[in-house]
Amino acid sequence: MRFGGIVLLGMSLFAALPMMGQKADKWSYEGKEGPLNWGRLDPSYRICSVGREQSPIDIRGAKLDKSLKPIEFHYLSGAMTLTNTGHTIEVTPPAGSYISLDGVRYDLVEFHFHSPGEDPVKGKLSDMSIELVHKSADGKLAVISVRLNEGRPNAVLAGLWEHLPKTVGSSDKMTQLMSPLGLLPMDRGYWTYTGSLTAPPCTEGVRWFVMENEVEISREQLRAFTALYRVNSRLLQATRGRKISASE
Catalytic residues: 87
> Across-strand partners of 216?
149
CB atoms within 10 A of CB 102: 9
The DSSP line for 102-130 is TTEEEEEEEEEEESS-S--BTTBPPSEEE
C-alpha span between 127 and 3 (Å, rounded): 23
Give the largest CA-CA distance in the chain: 48
* 131, 198 contact by CB (below 8 A): yes
Element (DSSP H or E) covering residue 190:
strand 190-196
Sign of the Cα pseudo-torsion (2, 8, 156, 89, in order): negative
